[in-house]
Structure 1
Amino acid sequence: MQIRDLPYEDPGEPDVRSGLRFLVWLFRRQLGGQAKALAWGTLHMITVAALPLALGLAIDAVVDGSGRRLGLIGLLLLATTLLMALADGMLHRVAVTNWITAAARVQQLLARRTAELGGVLTRRVAAGEVVKVSTGDVEKIGWFVESFSRFLAAVLVSLAVCAGLIVHEPQLGLVVLGGVIAVALSVWPLLPAATRRADAERTTSGRATELASDTVAGLRVLRGIGGEELFLERYRRASQDVRAASVRSARMWSLIAAVQVVMPGLLMIVVVWQGARMALDGRIGPGELVAVYGAVTFLLFPLRLFEETAMAFTFSRPSARRAVRVLALRREAGAAERPAAGASSGFGSGEDGRALPPEGDLADPASGLLAPAGLLTAVVCGDPHDAERLAERLGGHAAREEEAPSARLGGVPLEAVPRSAARAAVLVQDKDPVLLSGTLGELLDVPRSGRVEPDEALSAARCEDVLAALAQAAPDGSGDPMRTRITERGRSLSGGQRQRLALARSLVADPPVLVLDEPTSAVDAHTEARVAEGLARLRAGRTTVVFTSSPLLLDRADLVAFVHEGAAVATGTHRELLRTAPAYRAVVTREPEPRPAGPAGPAVPGRTAAQLAEETA
């Protein structure tokens, strides 16, 4: 796999049983690149290790007065240097490729899981944690996967050098081997403490990132209520906590680095002292002494790689655990993934073999809510949290742990429909829709039926003031609002403008079923009335569900359902429910609710959804 081939067509199905298993899975997925790095790394270290041997031979040639042998050794040194440069360059190339491809695979896996989970993700994992995993953790995971092959090359060549020293001079070779083992193991007792401090640093940093993302997301509101300085002070304290944790972690790693300097230095002193004694006794010559000294000096290089790999593993292991925590999340039991489910669930397939979305009434068995096909149904919930959960269930977005039966479209459970078909059938716009950065034309360039043009959607959503403002900011003075860029999350727009643009985007998509959660909560009453009129006109004959308590929208709805304590207790028109359901009237008009005579008060159900559907037809 080369960098130019990214992204992967299929990043694979990761092993999420543990962080270590995930790292092993990543390593196995790029065995070819690891084998190349191991080969080039081994060749590079062999050439580096050969330099002291060639230098010792050159000294012996000088001592013996052999010019011919000295010339041959010079040519050997030149060839070794050129080969070393080639191996080093190729090793760097392959190592960077392994690092980037491993990180890209993890990022694709995270992006795929995020797309599958949707809004469920941030309810189960903090947004700051997701940001940290998809940035810093991905880099650390790729670092360890890349460094492991270089570590193996260092181990192989180090063992070969020690074996050669033992064969050539057993006494000196055993001293070197023992010293290398002692140096390598000297940092082992320090690694657990370094790991704990690195985990503490990562946890503190994740909390700070989460606080920062939440603060930025609510900055406009914070400024409005004068709470900006309060949250900034909280972030300052969190930043200081991160700084303190980072310093504590850095101190441990500086101690490890110091041990890695002191221990090799002691080894060098012992080897020089022992080698000098052997040279004075005549057991080895000057060239051999220089070669042994050079070999020990070379061994300091792979020992540094041991430290780097230990550091990479220490940092990557908690990062892998956090990535696994996100990748292991599942929305549902997996029925949506079975292609054969369509044949037995009542929906068919198109000419290309793809499952067709089901059609018909949209029902939620958990609450008893029924939204008849082709009608505009408004839903009033006494508890806003009930509205949020109900909207997610209607779109098939409910979390797996929520023990509630799946919503049904045309009698077909949405969890039994392939995800692509379910998404094509039902579009849910939550109360805080996200506007990605890009031009207005790109914002409205979404998969759509073609029945609704962008101009019609913008007009129905009453975006005239937004278009006028964007036209003034159009590039090159063209006056074309479609070419004007919108900042990330639409932060340059007001809350009402963002809501209306998001509504226009949903109307352009023109799904068979559109679910809107408080689409006009940030809009003034005059504009809201016009939006209600445009929504009813543009969605005529299409199934639309609007969660709202606004009388302006409720009066435009074909059917209104009142949900109390998670159950649909009354249905009818807005005016009927105002007369017959005091609990409904209390929610809509903000009047004090009378003393309840039952679970939902003396609400008397109006006409049923089925009856109203027949009357409308």
Structure 2
Amino acid sequence: MQIRDLPFSHPGDPDVRSGPRFLLWLGRNQLAGQLKSLCWGLLHQLGIAGLPVGVGLAVQAVIDRSGERLALAGGLIAALGVLIALGDTMLHRAAVTNWITAAARVQQLLARKTAELGAALTRRVAAGEVVAVSTADVEKIGWFVEALSRFLAAAVALVLICVGLALYLPSLGVLVAVAMPVLALAVLPLLPRATRRADEQREKAGKATELAADTVAGLRVLRGIGGEELFLGRYRRASQEVRGAAVRSARMWALISSVQVLLPGILLISLVWYGATLAQEGRIDVGQLVTVYSAATLMLFPLRHVEEIAMAYSFSRPSAQRAVRVLSLHRSSREATAGGVVPTGDLYDPVTGLLAPQGLFTAVVCGDPDAAGRLAERLGGHAQAEGEEADGEGASGRTPSVLLGPVALDELPLEAARTAVLVQDKDPVLLSGTLRELLDVPCSGLVTTEEALGAAQCGDVLSALAQASGDDDGDPMRTRITERGRSLSGGQRQRLALARSLVTDPQALVLDEPTSAVDSHTEARVAAGLARLRRGRTTVAFASSPLLLDTADRVVLVHEGAVVAMGSHRELLHTEPRYRAVVTRETDEEAALSAAPGAAAPAMKDVQEIEERA
């Protein structure tokens, strides 16, 4: 796999049973790249290991006054230098390729999972954690995958050098061969504590990231209430906790590094002292002592890779676990069994009993906004994860799937389900880009951009974008919209999002409070445009505004997780007190007064005023 071949046509199906298994799966999927890196690493490490032989031969040749052997030793050192340079260059190239490839694979998996879960992702996993996984955690996972092959090359080189020294000069080689495992494993008792401190640092960093993301998202509100300093203080405390945790973690890694320096230093001192004694006694040559000492010194270089792989695994294991937490989420606990053909028919939720007849505009009134949002997500096929509480859940722990005609949405492939039903949240997101790019979405082609913008009453938005356009002709379609549409007002963002949904023209469109951020006059025109443009198509709108409810073909009241009444807006105002309480914002005291004898006339007067506004 080459970097130019990215992105993958299919990143694969990861093993999400645990973080280590996920890392192992990544390594297996890059086996060719790992073997290539291992081979170049061996060439590099063994080239370095051969230098002491050349140096020892050169020293002995000088002592024996042999010019021929000195020239051969110089040629050997030069050849080894070329091999070292070649091995190091190609090792770096292969290792970086492994790093980027692994990071790209994880990012593709996360992007695919994000597209699958949609708005349900941030309800199951905090937004800050998603950001941390897709940025810092991806880097750490790639680091471990990249360091693994270099560590294996270093380990093989250490074994070969120890065996070679033991055969070349047993009196000193055995000492080195016995000491090397001790040096490599000496830091293992310190790793659990270092890992715990690193985990603590990452946990605090994730919370600080989440706090920062929430603060930025709500910056306009914070400025409105003067809460910037309050949240700045909270983030300052969180960042100081991250700093303290990072310092504690760094102390442990500093201790590990010092052990990696101290113990090899003791080995080298012992080796020089014992080797000098043997050379003084005439039991070994000076050249042999130089060879063994040089080999032991250069072995400290591959020995460093033991510390690196321990640190890389310590950082990447919790990062992989967090990635697994996201990648193990599913749109539904059921497997897609239906074909890719998009079904037609009524939209029905067996949990609440809500029925949206095909081709009609159905308005849903729900007193609990959170329950309305969950119901809207369920109508779009965003089933709850296993273990989540849900009204109407069966004994099996599974929420019954919403039906589109005779087919359950959970049984449809994701692409077919998204084509069939589109859900627009009450707080829709506008991605950065031009207005033309914003409206360039998969669609049926039956609704034009002009029709969608007109139905959503985006005339003032187009005028504002035309004034802000950098083009001479003032084309609003080429005007850039900032991230999340922050350059627009709440009502403008909401209407542009509605226009985007209308352009898509799905079989069933589910809208959660589509006009909550606009004034009453604009709301009346949006409601009329929506009813006109969606005539003959299934539309469900969660709302409590009389202006929107009066344009619906039928209105359904959902109370405490079940459908309790249905009819037209005016019928329910007259016949259903619970409906009237939600639509008119009637308080408990007012409801009690309206139910008392002699209070019917004022109540009917309020209803008449609402009907006149509608």
Match of 1:33 in 2: 33
- Provide the secondary structure at the position in 2 that maps to 1:363: strand
Structure 2 residue 530 is the aligned partner of structure 1 residue 535: yes
Match of 2:382 in 1: 397
CA deviation after TM superposition for structure 1 residue 178, in Å: 2.4
Match of 1:585 in 2: 580
Match of 2:601 in 1: none
CA distance in 2, matches of 1:536, 1:491: 28
CA distance in 2, matches of 1:45, 1:39: 10
Alpha carbons 2:329, 2:385 under 8 Å: kept: no
Match of 1:168 in 2: 168
Paired amino acid for 2:465: L
Aligned counterpart for 1:475 among listed residues 470, 478, 486 = 470
- Provide the secondary structure at the position in 2 that maps to 1:378: strand
- Provide the secondary structure at the position in 2 that maps to 1:380: strand
Residues 535-560 of structure 1: CA deviation (Å, up to 9, x unaligned): 11111111111100011101111111
Paired amino acid for 1:500: R
Residues 83-113 of structure 1: CA deviation (Å, up to 9, x unaligned): 1101110000000001111111111111111
Residues 50-105 of structure 1: CA deviation (Å, up to 9, x unaligned): 11110110111111112122122222221111111011100000000011111111
Match of 1:73 in 2: 73
1:52-67 maps to which residues of 2 (within 5 A)?
A: 52-67=52-67
CA deviation after TM superposition for structure 1 residue 418, in Å: 2.2
- Provide the secondary structure at the position in 2 that maps to 1:277: helix
CA deviation after TM superposition for structure 1 residue 531, in Å: 0.9
Paired amino acid for 2:551: R
CA distance in 1, matches of 2:358, 2:442: 22
Structure 2 residue 484 is the aligned partner of structure 1 residue 489: yes
Q: What TM-score do you get using the length of structure 2 for normalisation?
A: 0.93
The unaligned stretches of length 5 or more in structure 2 are 394-398, 596-614
- Provide the secondary structure at the position in 2 that maps to 1:178: helix
CA distance in 2, matches of 1:221, 1:547: 25
CA deviation after TM superposition for structure 1 residue 314, in Å: 0.8
Match of 2:411 in 1: 416
CA deviation after TM superposition for structure 1 residue 471, in Å: 1.1
Aligned counterpart for 2:343 among listed residues 358, 373, 387 = 358
Residues 187-245 of structure 1: CA deviation (Å, up to 9, x unaligned): 11110100000000011011111111111111111111222221111111111110110
CA distance in 2, matches of 1:392, 1:244: 41
Q: Percent identity?
A: 69
Match of 2:603 in 1: none
- Provide the secondary structure at the position in 2 that maps to 1:571: strand
Paired amino acid for 2:295: A
Match of 1:154 in 2: 154
Residues 242-268 of structure 1: CA deviation (Å, up to 9, x unaligned): 011011001111111111111111111
- Provide the secondary structure at the position in 2 that maps to 1:312: helix
Match of 1:521 in 2: 516
Q: Could you tell which deviates more after superposition, 377-386 or 174-183? A: 174-183
Q: Could you tell which deviates more after superposition, 244-253 or 11-20? A: 11-20
- Provide the secondary structure at the position in 1 that maps to 2:215: helix
Paired amino acid for 2:549: L
Aligned counterpart for 2:569 among listed residues 562, 570, 574 = 574
Paired amino acid for 1:304: R
The unaligned stretches of length 5 or more in structure 1 are 343-354, 598-617
CA distance in 2, matches of 1:414, 1:20: 34
Paired amino acid for 2:16: V
1:16-415 maps to which residues of 2 (within 5 A)?
A: 16-336=16-336, 338=337, 341-342=338-339, 355-401=340-386, 402=390, 403=393, 404-415=399-410
Structure 2 residue 433 is the aligned partner of structure 1 residue 433: no
- Provide the secondary structure at the position in 1 that maps to 2:419: helix
CA deviation after TM superposition for structure 1 residue 412, in Å: 2.0
CA deviation after TM superposition for structure 1 residue 488, in Å: 1.1
- Provide the secondary structure at the position in 2 that maps to 1:427: strand
Q: What TM-score do you get using the length of structure 1 for normalisation?
A: 0.92
Alpha carbons 1:389, 1:398 under 8 Å: kept: no
CA distance in 1, matches of 2:587, 2:255: 67
CA distance in 1, matches of 2:478, 2:469: 6
Alpha carbons 1:128, 1:209 under 8 Å: kept: yes
Q: Could you tell which deviates more after superposition, 97-106 or 70-79? A: 70-79
CA distance in 2, matches of 1:197, 1:274: 40
Structure 2 residue 514 is the aligned partner of structure 1 residue 501: no
Residues 439-468 of structure 1: CA deviation (Å, up to 9, x unaligned): 110000001111111111111111112111
CA distance in 2, matches of 1:362, 1:329: 25
Structure 2 residue 445 is the aligned partner of structure 1 residue 460: no
CA distance in 2, matches of 1:162, 1:417: 60
CA distance in 1, matches of 2:228, 2:586: 34
CA distance in 2, matches of 1:151, 1:162: 16
Paired amino acid for 1:499: Q
CA distance in 2, matches of 1:42, 1:267: 24
Alpha carbons 1:40, 1:88 under 8 Å: kept: yes
Residues 110-146 of structure 1: CA deviation (Å, up to 9, x unaligned): 1111211122221221111111111111111111111
Q: Could you tell which deviates more after superposition, 472-481 or 195-204? A: 472-481
- Provide the secondary structure at the position in 2 that maps to 1:118: helix
- Provide the secondary structure at the position in 1 that maps to 2:299: helix
- Provide the secondary structure at the position in 1 that maps to 2:510: strand
